[in-house]
């Protein structure tokens, strides 16, 4: 009988520790959920602020004022500015195979003389 009492007390201690562990884990999860909800609320508030700012910047009267202030120096397009396709210059010839067209643009046409090294034989 005494052995049975000790086993029951041991089982109660194990069960109590397991319940305590579950309670601790659930409290930890509840704190995480509260933190995520707070972050979500902050993000929603930031989105609302950005939408309000976008609505303010997107008002037609503001855009009309900016256009009037900054686009006054532009001239209208004249029909004489357009030309026919036949008057376009010809395409440049394709580069030779194996040639480096970008390297040719970067390479100087003549050697650069800096004056720090004398020209000619030594």
**Cβ distance 56 to 62 under 8 Å?**
yes
For residue 8, what are its two tokens?
Answer: 């029951």
pTM: 0.46
- pLDDT at position 120 is 58
Give residue 109's pLDDT band: very low, low, confident or very high (50, 70, 90): low
Q: What is the mean pLDDT of residues 93-122?
A: 69
């Amino acid at each position: 009988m005494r052995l049975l009492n000790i086993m029951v007390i041991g089982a109660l201690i194990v069960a109590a520790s397991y319940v305590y562990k579950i309670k601790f884990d659930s409290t930890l999860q509840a704190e995480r959920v509260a933190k995520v909800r707070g972050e979500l609320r902050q993000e929603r508030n930031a989105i609302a602020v950005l939408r309000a700012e976008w609505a303010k910047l997107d008002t037609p009267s503001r855009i009309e004022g900016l256009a009037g202030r900054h686009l006054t120096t532009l001239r209208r397009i004249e029909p004489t500015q357009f030309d026919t396709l036949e008057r376009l210059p010809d395409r440049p010839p394709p580069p030779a195979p194996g040639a480096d067209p970008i390297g040719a643009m970067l390479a100087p046409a003549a050697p650069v003389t800096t004056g720090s090294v004398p020209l000619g034989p030594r």
